[in-house]
């Protein structure tokens, strides 16, 4: 069982090695179809491809002596397309006992057999990244089928890919900024702090720095909007060592009215319930 498990892991590594991206410089480009006129300029679509030797080198490097290719000639095609593909082969590629098949076409036996071989190798992941590339339109010097590109197709593709990556990065940054703005708007007003951290002025418009502690004269926490017990103090000294508080007005006046330090404390009885313990709970740090 251990040997079988190790063999399975080894095969997984082999499949990953076969499907690894090909080295730089092994990918070539060829024109696909005729050029088209756009804004007074001729453009042609170029597609990426690799040579059959590149595929063979990958197989020999990863599974030397462990792969086998069989080609079967298919009946002549009934009609040729614009590329004059009149021949077809079926390739049967076997690697470590695993078989993959595909069909290739070409103008002659050689090109059709090569096409079939490369297509079968793609079934194992060899050069599969070429099928994920975007379309590559390059300006050419005329309308002929074999017009010459005015720019290296690889350079043109890389330039547009870099621009697309930059545009995607900008879109992502804008989307993230929009999400943060929405989250900020959705925050409860009582949970927002003033930019300088001194009370709730940004959220409530109330300046808590005008109320001095009746005992030490220091700044106080404004608990009017967040306290859960209506009988709890409206203000509490920020100094933990000081027990200075300002109680709610006796006459039931609006709590947002600015109390003075001369308000006489009102004695109330605290119990062990969360409401009775709300003084410390409402202190923001």
Are 119 and 133 within one domain?
Answer: no
Most confident of 72-81, 109-118, 203-212, 274-283: 109-118
Residue 244 domain-assigned (yes or no):
yes
The better pLDDT of the pair 226, 121 is held by 121
Are 79 and 137 within one domain?
Answer: no
Are 41 and 163 within one domain?
Answer: yes
Are 75 and 150 within one domain?
Answer: no
Residue 13 domain-assigned (yes or no):
no
Tell me the average pLDDT across 186-207.
45
Are 131 and 93 within one domain?
Answer: no
- Of 80, 100, 123, which residue is a domain's last? 123
At residue 128, the pLDDT reads: 93
The model's pLDDT over 66-88, given as tens digits with 9 standing for 90+, comes to 999 999 999 987 665 556 678 99
At residue 251, the pLDDT reads: 60
- Of 168, 186, 204, which residue is a domain's last? 186
Query: pLDDT-based confidence at 279, cuts 50/70/90?
Result: very low
Residue 176 domain-assigned (yes or no):
yes
Residue among 34, 37, 38 at smallest CA distance from 147: 34
Residue 56 domain-assigned (yes or no):
no
Are 241 and 176 within one domain?
Answer: no
Residue 151 domain-assigned (yes or no):
yes
- pLDDT of 118 higher than 90: yes
Q: Are 67 and 94 in contact (CB under 8 A)?
A: yes
Are 237 and 105 within one domain?
Answer: no
Domain that holds residue 201: 194-285
At residue 83, the pLDDT reads: 61
Are 175 and 200 within one domain?
Answer: no
At residue 229, the pLDDT reads: 83
Are 201 and 281 within one domain?
Answer: yes
**Cα gap 214→224, rounded to integer Å:** 17
Query: pLDDT-based confidence at 265, cuts 50/70/90?
Result: very low
DSSP states of the chain: -HHHHHHHHHHHHHHHHHTSPPPTT--EEEE-S--EEETTEEEEEEEEE--HHHHHHHHHHHSTT-EEEEEEEPPPPSS--TT---EEEEEEEEETTEEEEEEEEESSHHHHHHHHHHHHHHTTTTTGGGGGPPPEEEEESSSSTTPPBSS-HHHHHHHHHHHHHHHHHHHHHHHHHHHHHHHHHHS-GGG---TTSSSSHHHH---GGG-B-TTT--BEEE-TTT-S-TTS-SEEES-TT---EEPPPTT---TTS---TTPPP------SSTTTTHHHHT---
Share of the chain above pLDDT 70, in %: 70
Tell me the average pLDDT across 41-47.
92
Are 135 and 119 within one domain?
Answer: no
Total number of domains constituting the chain: 3
The better pLDDT of the pair 46, 8 is held by 46
The better pLDDT of the pair 263, 28 is held by 28
Are 23 and 164 within one domain?
Answer: yes
Q: Are 37 and 29 in contact (CB under 8 A)?
A: no
Residue 269 domain-assigned (yes or no):
yes
């Amino acid at each position: 069982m251990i040997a079988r498990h190790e063999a399975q892991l080894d095969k997984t590594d082999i499949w990953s090695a076969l499907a690894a991206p090909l080295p730089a410089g092994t990918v070539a480009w060829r024109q696909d179809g005729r050029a088209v006129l756009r804004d007074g300029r001729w453009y042609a679509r170029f597609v990426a491809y690799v040579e059959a030797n590149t595929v063979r080198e990958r197989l020999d490097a990863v599974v030397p002596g462990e792969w086998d290719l069989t080609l079967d000639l298919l009946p002549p095609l009934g009609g040729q397309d614009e590329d004059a593909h009149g021949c077809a082969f079926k390739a049967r590629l076997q690697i470590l006992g695993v078989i993959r098949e595909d069909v290739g076409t070409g103008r002659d036996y050689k090109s059709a057999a090569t096409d079939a071989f490369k297509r079968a190798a793609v079934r194992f992941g060899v050069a599969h990244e070429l099928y994920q590339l975007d379309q590559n339109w390059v300006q050419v010097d005329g309308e002929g089928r074999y017009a010459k590109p005015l720019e290296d197709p690889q350079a043109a593709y890389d330039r547009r890919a870099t621009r697309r990556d930059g545009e995607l990065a900008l879109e992502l940054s804008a989307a993230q900024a929009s999400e943060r703005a929405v989250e900020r708007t959705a925050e409860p007003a009582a949970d927002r702090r003033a930019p300088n951290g001194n009370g709730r002025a940004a959220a409530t418009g109330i300046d808590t720095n005008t109320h001095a502690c009746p005992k030490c004269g220091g700044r106080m926490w404004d608990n009017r909007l967040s306290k859960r017990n209506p009988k709890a103090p409206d203000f509490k000294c920020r100094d933990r060592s000081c027990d200075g508080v300002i109680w709610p007005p006796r006459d039931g006046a609006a709590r947002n009215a600015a109390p003075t330090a001369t308000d006489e404390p009102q004695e109330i009885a605290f119990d062990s319930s969360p409401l009775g313990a709300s003084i410390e709970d409402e202190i923001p740090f």
